[in-house]
Chains A and B, each alone.
Chain A
Amino acid sequence: MFGKKLQVSLYRYNPEEDKFPYMKKYTIDKPERDIMVLDLLHLLKEQDQSVSYRRSCREGVCGSDGMNINGKNGLACITPISSVIKRNKIELRPLPGLPVIRDLVVDMTEFYAQYEKIKPFLQNETTAPEQERLQSPEERDKLDGLYECILCACCSTSCPSFWWNPDKFVGPAALLQAYRFLADSRDLKTEERLDALSDPFSVYRCHGIMNCVNVCPKGLNPNKAIGEIKSMLHKNKKDIIASDRI
């Protein structure tokens, strides 16, 4: 499937040594079988201990190893090199748009801050029953495609609006979670949640570019969730205007 050697171009930056980041070329022997990009990084690290990246579950559920692979964001552990290799070359860079701590490790503070901003927890202040709160399978189905997010940041860091306004635009990942709670029949703070999102930046900086949908390693659709939020906001506003007239 490959030539004898594989060339890897890796983004390197160590704040203690480098004034500027640079791309370093590594040549490694062609692996016998198809391996994941994360396995490739393990091989590089055995060659060069100083290579740094995050990883944990190595099966695409923890969201640690989001990175930019040949120009597209994805999870290293579930991306086979055969699917990204171009002329025996692979280029690995950190997720775009966030400050780099070292090599492929980015500072995700702003990403997490947006997540916390949408109050990512169920809000229901009525007295809980002794058993579970009931929810029909149909109501529960509405959470599918939303709750599975692994917070890898592949989507938000591929979004030009998030690059421009990471402090004001909530971004696709956190908006997906905002909708996860708006859509939950057990959550009672719909009004408050919508109010918190109704400014010109939080939601409306999404212009439907769809990069988020294109890169999500879990196959989720933040763009659709954002559309749902927009129509809820719209309806909410109309309701308010209507109630003002009465």
Chain B
Amino acid sequence: MNNIFTDNIKTIEFDSLIVGGGGSGMRASLELAKSGLKTAVVSKVFPTRSHTVSAQGGITCAIASADPNDDWRWHMYDTVKGADFIGDQDAIEYLCSEGPKAVFELEHMGLPFSRFENGRIYQRPFGGQSKDFGKGGQAARTCAAADRTGHALLHTLYQNNVKEGTKFLNEWFAVDLVKNSKDEVTGVIAFSIENGEVAYLKAQATVLATGGAGRIYASTTNALINTGDGLAMALRAGFPAQDMEMWQFHPTGIYGAGSLVTEGCRGEGGYLINKDGERFMERYAPNVKDLAGRDVVARSMVLEILEGRGCGEKNDHIFLKLDHLGADVLNSKLPGICELSRTFAHVDPVYEPIPVVPTCHYMMGGTPTNVNGQAFTRQNGQDQLIPGLFSAGEAACVSVHGANRLGGNSLLDLVVFGRATGMHIQKELKSGGGVDSATRSDIKKSLERLNALNDSTDGFDPAEVKRELQECMQNYFGVFRRGEFMKKGLDQLNEIKEKVDNLHLKDKSDAFNTSRVEAIELQNLFEVAEATAVSAYQRNESRGAHARDDFPDRDDENWLCHTIFDPQTKEVSKRGVNFEPSKVEAFPPKVRTY
């Protein structure tokens, strides 16, 4: 792939273009394919290789199966509280009230949910779930297909897209957004990984559904492909990111390997023990113990380890005990976990506990959007929609997860907002909405980064720089954060930036050149890491997943708000949280205990 001149790149035109073939992207494309709009999904991997496939425990939704009296308002209360009160309540209301419809649709599409004796969808308890607004005890609200719910959901969505004839550009890599002179988004520059062909994919509506970016950390449950490509494209185009300091560390990643062990294990009755065999969560969350919010459990585990009660030779992990559940329950409800545990921890949970540590799992922040998936930027303290740009799923920040996501809410987020985005685009384009064309020089601008890499003759080795970036984020922006350490981390990021801007791509070939892909992914990771670091350094309080040991308390007076990171000035500003749901009274902030 030599320097690409804008004159000889192909333009492929669509009505709507979805970047990313995971759950939210394929739910959006399904809606659009059914509507008859010319739609394509561009995905860097074959869609069923997307990270949604790794989701295990389930999709949380008040379908009133385990409990016929269950109510979406209770789910809403739990989600608002779980988010430590900076989730937007209009969006959470939409998530929880539309959820049942979206879940039943999945079942109608063929998703092989596990079942109760009465034939209804099986639901299990997950952390942070309650009945009757926290007063009625533990709820069981997470709909599951054994412990392979993400796999079942992703394959079902792909299958239904095949049915509806969705156009897929598989193993095409989107590099950058194309903007016209009015700052409207008119598509992306992308190349075929298989043969290196570069094209301008032009669209009236571009949806970023590229998932998370857990690979900014050295230790993560995320797939190797989770490099925040869409969010980074938006940042490079000058569009902001919201709540980037909020990263969820999942309590139970397999020690050493990082693979996820579902919260469903604790939902089914498993619990955590320290080296003395003590069920320590009883001390930190006396009411719900191991089923407290993920941020609470993860911090408690780190404290146990820091205070010398960790397990193993180095006292550096915790045990998840499951053997008391018996082989039958483990094999029928948690077969995937048994498999993963034997492969990566060399432990059979039927007999022995699984060694686990809190591991980076989920990005609560992202490109800010409204409930229709429309992305916005900020102008004079006001939200300003970006014509042509949409986002859904983990890449977006709508924001339903606020400062801490509840287990099982991410799959619901994918289908509810993927669907909402598809429905909105349909309405907008059918009523004559759209964007102006980009000029040749607009397109050329979006090719700069690709050209620079292809022209590089010397510079830094991407694999080394990536390691440096991941270690920096792990060391200075992990479970516990402190101002002076973060300052060090920020300085180090400045040095890394020099290197990221001067990478050397040795292999310039066109056919399935994964080195080129990895170099671009590294640049994307850097954008996300920088937004994370700057936002974390600014938020001088502890809330949800953001725990500052120099500011240990929540500070509602100053920080009951979103943070907005502006990539042009590298500054952080505040944005108000929505407290105006339309069907219920807002839930006011209160002390968050479990």
A residues sitting closer than 8 Å to B (CB atoms) are: 14-17, 45-46, 49-50, 52-64, 78, 101-103, 105, 108, 112, 116, 119-122, 124, 128, 130-137, 139-140, 143, 147-148, 150-151, 181, 184, 186-187
From A56, A124, A130, contact of B51 by CB (8 A):
A56
Is the CB–CB distance between B49 and A147 below 8 Å? no
Known A-B contacts: A62-B54, A143-B112. Give 16 more (CB < 8 A).
A56-B49, A61-B336, A62-B45, A62-B223, A63-B48, A101-B512, A120-B159, A121-B110, A122-B159, A131-B63, A133-B108, A134-B120, A140-B113, A140-B114, A147-B155, A150-B53
With A56-B45, A78-B343: A132-B113 Cβ-Cβ less than 8 Å = yes
Is the CB–CB distance between B223 and A57 below 8 Å? yes
From A46, A121, A134, A151, contact of B119 by CB (8 A):
A134
Can you report 25 A-B residue pairs in the complex whose CB atoms are below 8 A from each other?
A16-B510, A45-B515, A50-B515, A52-B514, A56-B225, A57-B49, A57-B53, A59-B257, A60-B339, A60-B343, A62-B53, A63-B48, A64-B46, A64-B49, A101-B512, A108-B46, A116-B162, A122-B159, A131-B104, A132-B104, A133-B107, A136-B115, A147-B112, A148-B151, A186-B110
What separation, in Å, do the CA atoms of A14 and B514 have in the docked complex? Answer: 12
Q: Chain A: which residue is nearest B343 at the CB level?
A: A78
CB distance from B237 to the nearest CB of A (A): 26
What separation, in Å, do the CA atoms of A167 and B343 have in the docked complex? Answer: 35
CB-CB contacts below 8 Å: B509-538 with A:
509-515
Chain A residue contacts of B259, Cβ below 8 A: 59
Chain A residue contacts of B53, Cβ below 8 A: 57, 61-62, 150
CB distance from A158 to the nearest CB of B (A): 20
Interface status of B485 (Cβ within 8 A of chain A) = no
CB distance from B97 to the nearest CB of A (A): 15
Chain B residue contacts of A112, Cβ below 8 A: 46
Interface status of B224 (Cβ within 8 A of chain A) = yes
CB distance from B146 to the nearest CB of A (A): 8
Chain A residue contacts of B339, Cβ below 8 A: 60
CB distance from A93 to the nearest CB of B (A): 16
Interface status of B117 (Cβ within 8 A of chain A) = yes
What separation, in Å, do the CA atoms of A179 and B126 have in the docked complex? Answer: 33
From B103, B159, B511, contact of A14 by CB (8 A):
B511
Is the CB–CB distance between A49 and B110 below 8 Å? no
CB distance from A51 to the nearest CB of B (A): 8
What separation, in Å, do the CA atoms of A17 and B117 have in the docked complex? Answer: 61
Is the CB–CB distance between A101 and B194 below 8 Å? yes
CB distance from B361 to the nearest CB of A (A): 14
CB distance from A242 to the nearest CB of B (A): 31
What separation, in Å, do the CA atoms of A102 and B511 have in the docked complex? Answer: 7
Interface status of B329 (Cβ within 8 A of chain A) = no
CB distance from B66 to the nearest CB of A (A): 13
Interface status of B17 (Cβ within 8 A of chain A) = no
Chain B residue contacts of A101, Cβ below 8 A: 194, 511-512
Chain B residue contacts of A60, Cβ below 8 A: 339-340, 343
What separation, in Å, do the CA atoms of A54 and B171 have in the docked complex? Answer: 10
Q: How large is the interface on B (under 10, 10 to 19, 20 to 34, 35 or more residues)?
A: 35 or more
What separation, in Å, do the CA atoms of A72 and B471 have in the docked complex? Answer: 36
Q: Chain A: which residue is nearest B195 at the CB level?
A: A101
Q: Chain B: which residue is nearest A51 at the CB level?
A: B514
CB distance from A176 to the nearest CB of B (A): 12
CB distance from A104 to the nearest CB of B (A): 10
What separation, in Å, do the CA atoms of A200 and B108 have in the docked complex? Answer: 33
From B54, B159, B336, contact of A57 by CB (8 A):
B54
CB distance from A205 to the nearest CB of B (A): 24
Max chain A C-beta neighbours (<10 A), residue from B103, B113, B160, B223: B223
CB-CB contacts below 8 Å: B109-152 with A:
109-110, 112-121, 145, 148, 151-152
What separation, in Å, do the CA atoms of A103 and B121 have in the docked complex? Answer: 44
Is the CB–CB distance between A136 and B104 below 8 Å? no
With A56-B223, A131-B63: A137-B343 Cβ-Cβ less than 8 Å = no
Chain B residue contacts of A55, Cβ below 8 A: 224
What separation, in Å, do the CA atoms of A62 and B222 have in the docked complex? Answer: 12
CB distance from B49 to the nearest CB of A (A): 4
Is the CB–CB distance between B45 and A53 below 8 Å? no
Chain B residue contacts of A63, Cβ below 8 A: 48-49
What separation, in Å, do the CA atoms of A150 and B336 have in the docked complex? Answer: 13
CB distance from A146 to the nearest CB of B (A): 9
Q: Chain A: which residue is nearest B148 at the CB level?
A: A148
CB distance from A97 to the nearest CB of B (A): 18
Is the CB–CB distance between A15 and B511 below 8 Å? yes
What separation, in Å, do the CA atoms of A181 and B203 have in the docked complex? Answer: 36
What separation, in Å, do the CA atoms of A54 and B170 have in the docked complex? Answer: 13
What separation, in Å, do the CA atoms of A115 and B413 have in the docked complex? Answer: 29
What separation, in Å, do the CA atoms of A52 and B517 have in the docked complex? Answer: 11
Chain B residue contacts of A102, Cβ below 8 A: 511-512
Chain B residue contacts of A108, Cβ below 8 A: 46
CB-CB contacts below 8 Å: B523-561 with A:
none
Chain B residue contacts of A54, Cβ below 8 A: 45, 49
Interface status of B276 (Cβ within 8 A of chain A) = no
Is the CB–CB distance between A137 and B117 below 8 Å? yes
Q: Chain A: which residue is nearest B467 at the CB level?
A: A46
Is the CB–CB distance between B110 and A184 below 8 Å? yes
CB-CB contacts below 8 Å: B303-356 with A:
336, 339-340, 343-344
Is the CB–CB distance between A14 and B223 below 8 Å? no
Chain A residue contacts of B514, Cβ below 8 A: 45, 52-53
Chain B residue contacts of A49, Cβ below 8 A: 506-507, 515
What separation, in Å, do the CA atoms of A203 and B109 have in the docked complex? Answer: 26
What separation, in Å, do the CA atoms of A124 and B111 have in the docked complex? Answer: 13
Is the CB–CB distance between A59 and B340 below 8 Å? yes
From B54, B159, B507, B510, contact of A59 by CB (8 A):
B54
CB distance from B483 to the nearest CB of A (A): 34
Interface status of B584 (Cβ within 8 A of chain A) = no
What separation, in Å, do the CA atoms of A88 and B398 have in the docked complex? Answer: 53
Is the CB–CB distance between A61 and B225 below 8 Å? no
Chain A residue contacts of B511, Cβ below 8 A: 14-16, 101-102
CB-CB contacts below 8 Å: B149-172 with A:
151-152, 155, 159-160, 162-163
Chain B residue contacts of A128, Cβ below 8 A: 104, 108
With A131-B63, A134-B119, A186-B110: A150-B48 Cβ-Cβ less than 8 Å = yes
Interface status of B463 (Cβ within 8 A of chain A) = yes
Is the CB–CB distance between A62 and B48 below 8 Å? yes
Max chain B C-beta neighbours (<10 A), residue from A102, A105, A131: A131
What separation, in Å, do the CA atoms of A237 and B49 have in the docked complex? Answer: 38
